[in-house]
Amino acid sequence: MTTTIIGFPRIGEHRELKFLTEKYFHHEIDEEKLQAGAKALRQKHWQQLHTAGIDYLPSNDFSFYDQTLDTAFLLNIIPEEVSQLELSDLDKYFALARGYQGPAGDIKALPMKKWFNTNYHYLAPKFEKQTTIKVRGAKIFQEFQEAQALGIDTRPVLIGPFTLLSLGEFSDDLQAQDFVPALITAYQEIFTKLKTLGADWLQLDEPALVKDLTPADLALFSALYEPLLAQKAGLKLLLQTYFGDIRDAYETVIDLPFDGIGLDFVEGLQTLELVKTGFPADKTLFAGIVNGKNIWRNNYQKSLAILQQLPVEDLVLSTSCSLLHVPYTTANENFEPAILEHFAFATEKLQELVDLSEILSGNDSQLLTQNQALFAKKRIQENTALATKIANLTEADFTRTPAFAKRESLQAQALNLPLLPTTTIGSFPQTREVKQARAQYKRQEITETAYDAFIANQINDWLAWQTEIGLDVLVHGEFERNDMVEYFGQNLAGYLFSQNGWVQSYGTRGVKPPIIWGDIQREQAITVKWSAYAQSQTDKIVKGMLTGPVTILNWSFPREDLSLKETALQLALAIQDEVLDLEAQGIRIIQIDEAALREKLPLRKSDWYSEYLDWAIPAFRLVHSQVQPTTQIHTHMCYSQFTDIIQAIDDMDADVISFEASRSNLEILDELKAQHFQTQVGPGVYDIHSPRVPSVAEITNTIEEILAKVPANKLWINPDCGLKTRGVPETKASLTNLTTAAKEIRTKLSAPVTSRR
Ligand code: GLN
Ligand code: ZN
């Protein structure tokens, strides 16, 4: 039995790639140094896989920013304004990723979106009239040769044309079909070139196949692959899917002359059944059996039970998706052995693949016995009181009274805010100074008193500055938080934290998802101290800032022995305590961030409510259902891709919601109107994911565009997300422009700033 993986974390064991790339962004190293560092990392990773005993290694799973952007770049799917910039190829690539503001021009970054049901983000390729698809990049070829030079034959990886088109944005009246012939030609050119270089296999990633597919989608798939497979240039093609099963495409796919098909047996609920209906003898099945998304040890007995049912002769053991979504290794963690033995990060998953292969080949029975002993252990002590409390929840626990419309007018009177109130999403820049203070405190290098004084000072400075530029609803700035989920987890029983468990979120950004180990309970007040402090320093309203239960869950590594629903309710009860404490301390606006609510929406529509929204939305309501009518509940969601679940978002029954609409477009607003969305909205008037500063005119324009679709008395003016990843100068410049723009529009609407809403 042989083994492979779909992809490996490219960021490096110690996030080397992040630091290297950021140095390049800050002009501290040149391109040559960056490339050399990247090459060394790739080499280390290949050698590691090789030493671990993995049989088939991927290449081109490396990326400086994002693999979808790499594929678009390779195929010359580059907006005209960027091709024309007088910049190196690498800088054009980064301009697409991050925007560019400098002597060569001023362009916005490509839209950044969530990668299927993960917390990874890709850059959406833009297909325009001028787009001329051709092979222009060389990365995939160079990396193949690079491994070859080390004596390692790899299987290059590329996003397949179907997924590329399905992720693309099309300008004018263009559509996917328009680009089919050019894509076929270009992919075939890549096949030929790879074959010439000595490649045996090519992996085409087609995760878009796990979604609901219409007959038109399937026709597009066939229109791409029939001609492609007719001329493979002697290369073997692996069609790789992940994040679910391919029930709509299975028949189509097995009838096509692919050489290998990669299926997900972890998230793919129907994968096993599909394969049991038959799998062609002339194809290799790449069975994704080791979970590429979670950090728990693989249960060998369960995996073997699946593998042994497969009516397949030619089997390669693989991961369920790229290991990009899990941290690098448990070797740098200091959990006690009784805990650590339950975890497998990317490196340890390699060993699991090799173990499974050994067991299946009948070489080692000890491995199975040991694994069974691990799973037989009693890991935690259950909290039975909590389970009873959850079992006894009733409809009233999930319902806030009075209804929204009544609350809206009560809050207008109580809060006395101007028309188009301005605010931010919560965090201010996490400067070196801020991070250093937190780190020193954690290492006990400074006293609690010194640390508290530092945080208080930051809060006071930023409160004063917010007041000076005239923001209406202030925030304390979240300086005490490393991360919006980890910070909460640290104060909740049931959580564990890794030291180095970084996972790439986008570009050079990583997150360190905490691990839900046991039952959740709030141990003490979490945010009350700093929110109450900030409110005590000003007469203006300071918004309390919390992370909601669904986001905490979605950005943690969840348990595999408790349902997500049950875990969400445990979290909701803990955050409910926090909300009520804040309210009792005089906090009048409380924002409960559900940044990641959309993220775990099942990829198939038919599963949306039954598998997810039916518990996720009530979990959010449970958090705020008990507050006073005049306490205003805000929520924030990253990204505006919720056009299709607007009703569910309204059912969260928040009073105000902010979201990202600036980086994609304002289409969502038409839908809000069409569906009579009640909740007040802050669609985000500029993009914080890029360092460029929007001018007053640009923001004024955006607000006017929004006002054409949203009534003024429902509209809030804010950036599209928290500002913690930004620098201070650009933050101050941007927010100053934001408040100026809001004031200009208010004047235009000729509503005096002091008028009641
Ligand atoms: N309140 C958080 C912040 O401002 C929200 C972050 C997020 O939406 N990702 O950082
Ligand atoms: Zn956000």
Task: Return the SS3 of 527.
Answer: coil
Residue 721 labelled as part of a binding site? yes
Would the annotation count 377 as a binding residue?
no
Handedness of CA 723, 727, 728, 731 (dihedral sign): negative
What sections of 514-555 are H helices per DSSP? 528-536, 549-554
Ligand 1 atom closest to residue 545's alpha carbon, by position in its atom list = 1
Residues near 595 by Cβ (< 8 Å), separated by ≥ 6? 484, 547, 551, 636, 637, 638, 721
Q: Provide the pLDDT for residue 664.
A: 56
Three-class secondary structure of residue 124 per DSSP: coil
Residue 114 labeled ligand binder: yes
- Mutational pocket test of ligand 1: of 484, 597, 635, the residue with most ligand atoms within 8 Å of the beta carbon: 484
Q: Crossing angle of helices 366-376/300-307, nearest 10°?
A: 120
> Is residue 568 lining ligand 1, measured as CB closer than 6 Å?
no
- 112, 430, 478, 635: residue to mutate for ligand 1 pocket, most atoms within 8 A of CB: 478
Ranges under pLDDT 50 in the chain? 753, 755-757
Q: Is the CB of 553 under 6 A from ligand 1?
A: no
User: Which residue owns the Cα nearest ligand 1 atom 5?
Assistant: 722
593 Cβ below 6 A of ligand 1:
yes
Any binding-site annotation on 333? no
- Residues 38 and 65: their CA atoms lie apart, in Å, by 12
Q: Has 593 been labeled as part of a binding site? A: yes
Residue 345 φ then ψ, to 5°: -95, -170
In this structure, which topology does domain 2-376 adopt according to CATH? Answer: TIM Barrel (3.20.20)
Residue 742 Cα to ligand 1 middle (Å): 22
**pLDDT reported for residue 663:** 52
**pLDDT for residue 689:** 84
Which class is 393-748 in CATH?
A: alpha beta
Q: How far is the CA of 157 from the centre of ligand 2 (A)?
A: 31
Rounded to 10 degrees, what is the CA torsion of 627, 632, 638, 644? 80
Q: Is 637 in the pocket of ligand 1 (CB under 6 A)?
A: no
Report which protein residue has its CA nearest ligand 1's atom 8: 595
Index of the ligand 1 atom closest to the CA of residue 722: 4
Measured from the alpha carbon of residue 484, the closest ligand is 1
Residues labelled catalytic: 689
Measure the CA–CA gap between 473 and 416, rounded to whole angstroms: 11
**Measured between alpha carbons, how far is 68 from 114 in angstroms, rounded to an integer?**
12
Residue ID of nearest Cα to ligand 1 atom 9? 595
Of the listed ligands, the closest to the CA of 477 is: 1
Residue from 566, 539, 554 nearest 390 by CA: 566
Q: In which residue ranges of the chain is CATH 3.20.20.210 found?
A: 2-376, 393-748
Q: For residue range 51-79, what is the model confidence (pLDDT) as tens digits?
A: 999 999 999 999 999 999 999 999 999 99
pTM beyond 0.85: yes
Ligand 2 centroid to residue 555 C-alpha, Å: 13
pLDDT of residue 643: 86
| Ligand 1 contact via 724 beta carbon (within 6 Å) | yes
CA of 717 to the centre of ligand 1 (A): 16
Residue-level pLDDT at 756 = 45
Do you know the residue count of the chain?
757
Cα–Cα distance, 298 to 560 (Å, whole number)? 11
